[in-house]
Amino acid sequence: MKTYQYILLAFVAFLTVSCGTIEQQEITELPSVPVKVVQVSASEAASYIAASGKVEAGQNANLSTRVMGNVTQVHVKVGDKVTKGQTLINISNADLTAQKAQVEAYIVQAESGLKNAEKDFQRFKSLFEKESASQKELDDMTTRFEVAKANVEAAQQMRKGVEAQFAYTNVKAPFSGVVVNSFIKEGMMANPGMPLISLEDAKNYQVVASISESDISGITEDTKAVIYVKSIEKEFEGKIIELSPSAQNTGGQYLVKIAISETEKALRSGMFVNVKFQIKPSEKGAVQITIPTSALIKKGQLTGVYVVTDDQVVILRWLRLGRTYNDKVEVISGLAENERFILSQEGHLYNGAKVTF
């Protein structure tokens, strides 16, 4: 019986040792992960201020009218290009036509009254000189004559006012541009001040960027700006045309307007951009480390990068980051110059994994 127990224990021990050896072999023989490695390089200290913004048209307007009436015709649609002075919308002017007819009748009546008053004035003036009319009669005729002249002047001003209203029944483009929105259709009622057509200048674009109070002191109207539009992957040079002196009504952010020196067809109003304002280095001899944002590893609120040791072993290093511009981010701490980090890999990475280049 004891002999069988010894044999059983020996067999179990052999299996345990064998399994441990197999597991150890499996661990030590895990394949290395192919990776793309980049060496950390340092450049001159941060010589720019990064900000975000949005593309806007240099000129834009919501066109409306001062008269009330039915829209009889809409000549344009969204996307149409228009020229300055082109008629965009016609509004019914039947009411104004009736008002003008009434004013014209009143002018005829006032002018007729003026002629009669002038004749009476001249007659009584002659009689007064011959001492055949009293001073009071002459004063009455003079007053009547002056009132008649005032009535004619008032009627003529009323006619000018009505004629001016006719201009608002034809909504015209104040500048050349493109129709970006339409708020009205034929047959609808147009009301004074109600937006009818939205128009933008499609040739002259500008960027409105928000700058924090810690950075605004480093920017002047002579500061050079580089604008990157991520959606079309294009960079444009810009010139600061307006620098807001106050952040009272903008949530603590200072607004900077930048004119885009050249445009292209792919650029659209409303596109989000990154702006880099080139400033003087803050500290002589200081260096800056930047890495691609695609190399970052995020876990919760922590952000890090996989660093490769001399033995080709991976270590996850947590970082403290600074400014971001385009696809680059500044590393304040966590990486040293000439260290190697992983830009991309072809397998699963973890602390202690072996890699091949």
Domain membership of residue 64 (yes or no) is yes
Question: Is residue 226 within 8 Å of 275, Cβ to Cβ?
Answer: yes
Report the pLDDT value the prediction gives residue 287, as an integer from 0 to 100: 63
Nearest to 93 by CA among 114, 72, 78: 72
Domain membership of residue 2 (yes or no) is no
Report the pLDDT value the prediction gives residue 22, as an integer from 0 to 100: 41
Q: In the structure, what pLDDT confidence band is assigned to residue 43 with cuts at 50, 70 and 90?
A: low
> Could you identify the residue written with the tokens 């034929």?
186
Pick from 13-17, 82-86, 132-136: least confident: 13-17
Using the predicted structure, report yes or no on whether residue 111 has a pLDDT greater than 90.
yes
Do 319 and 265 share a domain, yes or no?
no
Q: How many structural domains does the chain have?
A: 4
Q: In the structure, what pLDDT confidence band is assigned to residue 282 with cuts at 50, 70 and 90?
A: low
Domain membership of residue 13 (yes or no) is no
Do 71 and 191 share a domain, yes or no?
yes
Q: Which stretches of the chain are DSSP H helices? A: 2-28, 94-129, 135-167
Do 76 and 114 share a domain, yes or no?
no
Q: What is the pLDDT of residues 215-228, one digit of tens each?
A: 888 888 888 898 98
The residue out of 278, 295, 329 marking a domain boundary is 278
Provide the domain limits for residue 237.
49-58+204-278
Report the pLDDT value the prediction gives residue 318, as an integer from 0 to 100: 93
Rounded distance, CA 226 to CA 207, Å? 11
Using the predicted structure, report yes or no on whether residue 92 has a pLDDT greater than 70.
yes
Report the pLDDT value the prediction gives residue 281, as an integer from 0 to 100: 59
Q: Domain of 144: which CATH number? A: 1.10.287
Q: Domain of 248: which CATH number? A: 2.40.30.170
Rounded distance, CA 88 to CA 106, Å? 34
Nearest to 264 by CA among 239, 227, 209, 210: 227
Beta bridge partner(s), residue 299: 302
> In Å, how far are 57, 175, 196 from 62, measured between CA atoms?
13, 12, 7
Q: In the structure, what pLDDT confidence band is assigned to residue 157 with cuts at 50, 70 and 90?
A: very high
Using the predicted structure, report yes or no on whether residue 61 has a pLDDT greater than 50.
yes
Using the predicted structure, report yes or no on whether residue 150 has a pLDDT greater than 90.
yes
Pick from 15-19, 159-163, 332-336: least confident: 15-19
Do 134 and 185 share a domain, yes or no?
no
Q: What is the pLDDT of residues 172-187, one digit of tens each?
A: 999 999 999 999 999 9
Domain membership of residue 135 (yes or no) is yes
Q: What is the mean pLDDT of residues 158-185?
A: 90
Do 320 and 336 share a domain, yes or no?
yes
Q: What is the pLDDT of residues 246-279, one digit of tens each?
A: 888 777 889 999 998 777 778 888 899 989 888 7
Do 266 and 138 share a domain, yes or no?
no
Do 35 and 142 share a domain, yes or no?
no
Q: In the structure, what pLDDT confidence band is assigned to residue 328 with cuts at 50, 70 and 90?
A: confident
Q: What is the pLDDT of residues 20-33, one digit of tens each?
A: 444 444 444 567 88
Report the pLDDT value the prediction gives residue 109, as an integer from 0 to 100: 92
Domain membership of residue 15 (yes or no) is no
Mean pLDDT of the chain: 84
Do 240 and 134 share a domain, yes or no?
no
Using the predicted structure, report yes or no on whether residue 101 has a pLDDT greater than 60.
yes
Using the predicted structure, report yes or no on whether residue 162 has a pLDDT greater than 80.
yes
Using the predicted structure, report yes or no on whether residue 11 has a pLDDT greater than 60.
no
